[in-house]
Structure formats: C-alpha cells, structure tokens
Amino acid sequence: MPDLNPTQYAVPLFVIAVLAEMIWAKLRAPEAYEPKDTLVSLSFGLGSTVAGALLGGFAVSLMLFAYEWRVVDFGPEWWAVWWAWPLCFVLDDLKYYWVHRAGHRIRWMWAAHVNHHSSQHYNLSTALRQTWTGPFTFGVLFAIPLVLLGFHPVMIAICGGFNLIYQFWIHTEAIKRMPGWFEAVMNTPSHHRVHHATNPRYLDTNYAGVFIVWDKLFGTFTPEVDDEKIRYGIVKQLGSFNLLWSVFHEWIGMIGDIWSAPWKHKLSYLLREPGWSHDGSRETSDMIRAKWLARQDAVAPPATSVADQNRIAGTQEAA
C-alpha cells in the first residue's frame, strides 16, 4: 500500500513560492502582503496540520468502515489499478466541489471553512489558511460515496492531497489570466479571486477545486470582470489579527445564536445559510446580491435599442 502524503512533500515548494511572491510584491504591489496577516495565515496552516493529525482519526475510521461495504472491488493490490487513480482524482474533485459548496451554504460547515476566507488579502499565504475545525463538521460524509464505489480511503486521501497542492498556486494576484483553453477547463487565479471576493456579484460562486467545469455544469460560475476592483475577505470583516478568534469566531457566533434563538429556529441557525436570521435582522449572500442588483437596475439607463429610439410607427395601426 502506498504511504504518501503529497502535501508534506510540497511544503518546501510552498515556502519557496511564498518567498518568490513576496519579492514580486515588493517590486510590483507592496500592499498585496501585510506581515501580521501573513503570520496569521501561515499559523492557520501549521495549526491545521496539527489539528488534522490529532482529530482526523474519526474520519479515517468511518471511511475504512464504509470501505467494507464497497460495491466494486479493485482487489488486494488496488493501488496497481492505474486507471483508478485519474478516475478517483476527477471524482474526488467533484466531491470537493460539493463539500466546498456546502461549506458556503450551510452555517455549520461555514463555521469551519470561514477561516480560509477571513483574510482581506489574497496571496499565496492565504492558500495555507486552512481550517482547524473541519473534523467537527459532517464533511467526511461527502467522501463516503467514493468509498462505497470501491476507492480505498488512502487513494482518496492522496488524490485529495494533490487537489490541495493544485489549489495553492491559484491564490495569487500576480497572474492575471491563463490561456483561454486553460481558463475554460481548469480553476485559475482569475476564477478563484472571484470566489474569495465579497463584491455582491461574486458572492458564493466558483466553488471548484481543480476543474472549473463543475461550476459551469451546476450553475455557480461567475467570470472575473476587469473594471471592478475585488474586495477580499468576508462580508463582516473580522478587524482582528487574533489567531484564536479567527479560528473560532463563527463557531462562537453560531452556538450563541442557537442558544438564544426560539426552539423552532434553533436548527435553522445550524443548517441554513450564513447570514440567515429568524427575525430578518441580518443578510445572506443572496439578499446582499439582490439589493445590489436592485441598485444596478435603479441606476441603469433606459433602453436605447434602435427599435426603441425609432418608434415612428408607435401610434399607427398596422397596415
């Protein structure tokens, strides 16, 4: 059985790439980095590794348990079935799309994922801003169908590791656009900047990990527009560099809301989208976008098509 943790081997590459991007920032965009923000982001990365090692046992056990009920058996040397690897990688990326989408649309999942978005910067250090509390969500359930299909949990973990490594390089403003064919199929810095933006037009879009085609397929794709500056972070910016607050703030907020809500609404604060409130006192991303769209409609110029401008027959009867 392969004993490989791809992200572990990629760490030196991550360090060199961050170093290179800092030099680029020094020359071209010094505002792209902020030392305290960088320190918090990198600490998230380290804490995530430790938390995964300490808390990941339950997820591994559950997947190994489910593997006993697999539909297809790749045999005792499953790692030697070469075609299973690319197939697993693609299906794992599809799984990533859905777990990521849930991470934005279900507050319980968002409580763990918000960490990745709470920086107001977008650089390679942001990519390492990974969750510490993922094991406290039900994210592992999204992998169970793959296990039941017959993919060994180790194969899924290795594919997931390469998926994570791919996503590292797209967290940058240093690359504007990739070639057209690449932008059409793959997740890119441009597509992922959109995902990290708080501009209303971009909220809750581009959930892809490696292949942007999933967003196009499931109706969540939004292209980056060149004439609007992107604002990064979360709708209600933290305004704090406190690491522990950054890790746990949404959990604390969610538990507080569940505690104080009327009984019939408690579950909604766990399972509905971030920003939902039973008294309408807060805004979800859909509400923010709807208000923004209404403002756009209010300031949009009247229709100026040729037909509208030349209504010479407007009051005449047809011949």
Nearer to other proteins, 30 or 86 (CB): 30
33 binds other proteins (CB under 8 A): yes
CB 274 within 8 A of CB 110: yes
Which residues, 133 to 172, sit near other proteins by CB under 8 A?
none
Part in contact with other proteins (CB under 8 A); list of ranges 154-162, 183-191, 220-228, 285-293: 285-293
Tell me which of 22, 213, 261, 287 binds other proteins, using CB under 8 A: 22
Which residues, 212 to 241, sit near other proteins by CB under 8 A?
231, 233, 237-241
Q: In degrees, to the nearest 5, what angle opens at C-alpha 171 toward C-alphas 23 and 156?
A: 130
Q: Report the nearest approach of other proteins to the CB of residue 135 (Å).
A: 16
CB 168 within 8 A of CB 14: yes
Nearer to other proteins, 43 or 277 (CB): 43
Part in contact with other proteins (CB under 8 A); list of ranges 16-24, 92-100, 169-177, 213-221: 16-24
Count of CB atoms within 10 A of residue 229's CB?
A: 6
Backbone angles phi and psi of 47, in degrees to 5: -60, -35
CB 44 within 8 A of CB 125: no
49 binds other proteins (CB under 8 A): yes
Part in contact with other proteins (CB under 8 A); list of ranges 24-32, 57-65, 186-194, 206-214: 24-32
242 binds other proteins (CB under 8 A): yes
Q: Would you state the structure tokens that stand for residue 296, as one six-digit string?
A: 């756009």
CB 271 within 8 A of CB 107: yes
11 binds other proteins (CB under 8 A): yes
DSSP character string of 55-66: HTHHHHHHHHHH
Tell me which of 36, 179, 227, 313 binds other proteins, using CB under 8 A: 36
293 binds other proteins (CB under 8 A): no
Element containing residue 292 per DSSP (H, E): helix 285-299
For residues 214 and 93, give the distance between their C-alpha atoms in angstroms, rounded to a whole number.
9
How far is CA 195 from each of CA 5, 83, 100, 207, rounded to the nearest angstrom?
Answer: 27, 32, 11, 7
SS3 at position 211: strand
CB 198 within 8 A of CB 204: no
Residue type, 214: W
Q: Report the nearest approach of other proteins to the CB of residue 159 (Å).
A: 22
Tell me which of 62, 164, 199, 221 binds other proteins, using CB under 8 A: 199
249 binds other proteins (CB under 8 A): yes
Tell me which of 13, 20, 39, 184 binds other proteins, using CB under 8 A: 39
The footprint of other proteins (CB under 8 A) covers 8, 11, 15, 18-19, 22-23, 25-26, 30-39, 42-43, 45-46, 49-50, 53, 120-121, 125, 198-200, 231, 233, 237-242, 245, 249, 288, 291-292, 295
